[in-house]
Amino acid sequence: MHWLLVRGTLLDRDCYNWGGMLECVRVSLAAKAGCEMALLAVSSGVLGTRASLMLDVVFLAMFLLVPALAVSIWLVKHGHYSAHKRMQLILGGTLLLAVLAFEIDIRFFTNWRTLAEPSPYFRTDGWSAVWTALSIHLACAIPATLLWCYVIVQALRKFPNPPRPCPYGTTHRRWGWLATIVMVLTAITGCIFYYLAFVAG
């Protein structure tokens, strides 16, 4: 077994598989009683960064969200109401599944802090640019999710089926634009966080 010491972390050279996409990191922490703990961090993404697979999936979803929203708005402006409805439902469902998978990955499988350690913008012993970017992203992402859910649920309740113009359209348009703006901010701040944490360095 060959170990390489990098920034205080022991990297097992025999753990690199799949063309370098899988990185097995063994971190030894000495407890006061002299015990040792092992921490597993997996970097198995597809974009060639330090991020995990699910972090890459969520990043790609955020990156593709803006043009997809633009297409959806174009559809409704040109009278393609059913296509707009289908696209919104597909986007909402896809992002919901991606976020759920991301939460499961972060909580049970991937230690993103370990993956972010090589970044010059991340610190383990205090506040850093990565934490600032994450905080701003979450401040956008949480209301964006609630707004989008509200807009979709209200549209399903108040628009006729198949969808067509109705008195609720003005209200829907106002809330829809608000949700779109906050969702675009979510995508932008998410990409900034991803770069600072998993690309920079």
pLDDT digits (tens, 9 = 90+) for 34-66: 333 333 455 567 888 999 888 898 899 888 888
The backbone torsions φ and ψ at residue 10, rounded to the nearest 5 degrees and listed phi first, read: -90, 120
- Per domain, the residue ranges of the chain are 3-42, 53-199
Separation of alpha carbons 189 and 183, rounded Å: 10
Is the N-terminal amide bond of 162 cis, ω within 30° of 0?
Answer: yes
Q: Between residues 53 and 152, which one has the greater pLDDT? A: 152
Cα–Cα dist 199/201, whole Å: 6
Least confident window among 25-29, 111-115, 185-189, 192-196: 25-29
pTM (predicted TM-score):
0.74
Asked whether 50 and 198 are in contact (CB, 8 A), the reply is: yes
